[in-house]
Amino acid sequence: MLLAVDVQYRDDCGFAAGVLFQDWHSDRAVRTVSARVDGIGEYVPGEFYKRELPCILKLLSLVDEDIDCVIIDGFVYLDGDARPCLGKHLFDAVQGRYPIVGVAKTSFAGISDQYEVLRGDSKRPLYVATAGYDLDDAKCSIAAMHGKHRIPSLLKIVDQRCRSDSIPANEHNSDEASSNVQCQIL
């Protein structure tokens, strides 16, 4: 089972969403899970991971399935292999229990083209880096994920889920009650 995660913020709250799916070729989620973390604090330049990490760790605590890999929206290493970023801090926080594959939509100064993956007809690459997972395998897996466009369809779903969960319950167009933890079987 694979888990793709993303985090959004609103005021002093972090909202993490996760999409569980069978394998790299899956076209649909098995289950989604989300978590809210209050009091995440202000952004500090160079310490972005300090806001996202608690949200992802809370989300992971809600997953009972055996996870083969966690896919994050962002970098594992800012330069690909030496300057730790969210993915490396997550890998260390879970003591290497889960391999981490980071998929970033924009480049960062110092990341080389060896981390680029082109999907579909897009001329703009994604940037893939890893901790505990072979880089070439991760790049091939991201390239093979379902969807015709630059962003794989399941990564789009986790992004959309994360954004919708970050809207307070009174701003939703549904009767869903706000809670700190939400799970949905698809």
Which H/E stretch holds residue 70? strand 69-73
pLDDT digits (tens, 9 = 90+) for 13-58: 899 999 999 999 999 999 999 999 998 877 776 677 888 999 999 9
**CA distance linking residue 4 with residue 72, whole number of Å:** 6
Is the model's pLDDT at 181 over the cut of 70?
no
Instruction: Give the Cβ contact number of residue 171 at 10 Å.
Output: 9
The pLDDT of 180-186, averaged and rounded, is 30
Per-residue pLDDT, 171: 38
The DSSP bridge partners found for residue 166 are: none
**CA distance linking residue 115 with residue 139, whole number of Å:** 8
Is the model's pLDDT at 185 over the cut of 70?
no
Is the model's pLDDT at 2 over the cut of 70?
yes
pTM value is 0.87
Residues 6+ apart with CB under 8 A from 76: 84, 85, 86, 87, 88, 91, 100, 101, 102, 129, 130, 131
Is the model's pLDDT at 170 over the cut of 70?
no
Measured CA distances, 108 to 7, 77, 78, 166 (Å): 19, 10, 6, 26
Per-residue pLDDT, 173: 30
pLDDT digits (tens, 9 = 90+) for 114-159: 999 999 889 999 999 999 999 999 999 999 999 999 999 999 999 9
Per-residue pLDDT, 45: 65
Per-residue pLDDT, 124: 94
Instruction: Give the Cβ contact number of residue 91 at 10 Å.
Output: 23
pLDDT digits (tens, 9 = 90+) for 76-107: 988 767 889 999 999 999 999 999 999 999 88
Is the model's pLDDT at 177 over the cut of 50?
no
Which H/E stretch holds residue 7? strand 2-10
